[in-house]
Amino acid sequence: MATTDKASPRERLLDAATELFYRDGVSIGVEALCKSAGVSKRSMYQLFESKDEVLAASLERRAPAYAARLIAGPDDAGTPRERILYVFEQVERGSASPEFMGCPYLAALVELKDPAHPASVVARAAKEWMKDAFRGQAELGGAREPELLARQLMLVFDGASARAGVGLETLDGVAVETVRVLLDAAGVV
């Protein structure tokens, strides 16, 4: 991992955590994390109470860029239908990369299993935010049952991300086409 000399120890830890936890999972050790960040364990524990706190902070820090990559921006034109499809087009595009490991928030929730874990709290909030974004677009698009559609879209998003992330599936349009069917059935324009 490349770090700049100007980055603070906290930034280097969060950068390393983002990369290592996504690539190798949350079980990565403190020693490997600190080595990758070029930070001593003592410094890490001065900045964070635990590795769990580093993981939570790295997920929280990552959220704006992750959302920006998936969600069409406020200045982007498009119908609610197009904005929802855009998310799945981005997932399909991203899944073609060899570095794609799926949704980092879903991965954290699956690996940790503890809903009270600090990183689980952050990951759950990120997943709820996405569901709310889907529900908002579904409402704008005239969906008959926006909450149900949002839940269905989350199932497709998480399923597509997980299957592609572990190499069981190449998405090749299947997520986008599945979402089109859902949008048609829900009456979203």
Mark whether 103 and 182 lie in a shared domain: yes
* 167 plus 116 within the same structural domain: yes
Per-residue pLDDT of the chain (189 residues; tens, 9 = 90+): 544 457 899 999 999 999 999 999 999 999 999 999 999 999 999 999 999 999 999 999 999 999 999 988 777 779 999 999 999 999 999 999 999 999 999 999 999 999 999 999 999 999 999 999 999 999 999 999 999 999 999 999 999 999 999 999 889 999 999 999 999 999 998
Q: How many domains does the chain have?
A: 2
**Is 0.85 topped by the overall pTM?**
yes
Same-domain check for residues 22 and 105: no
| Residues 84 and 120 placed together within one structural domain of the fold | yes
Q: Residue 85 and residue 8: Cα distance in Å, rounded?
A: 38
Q: How many CA atoms lie within 13 A of 169 on its CB side?
A: 17
> Residue 157 sits in which domain range?
62-186
Same domain, 179 and 93: yes
The b/e string for 22-49 (b: 16+ C-beta within 10 A; e otherwise) is beeebebeeeebbebbebeeebbeebbe
Residue 177 domain-assigned (yes or no): yes
Q: Which two tokens stand for residue 142?
A: 């005239």
Contact 21, 104 (CB under 8 A): yes
Q: Are 50 and 26 in contact (CB under 8 A)?
A: no
| CATH code at position 138 | 1.10.357.10
Q: In this structure, are 72 and 104 located in the same domain?
A: yes
- 103-121 in b/e form (b: 16+ CB < 10 A) is bbbbbbbebbeeeebbbbe
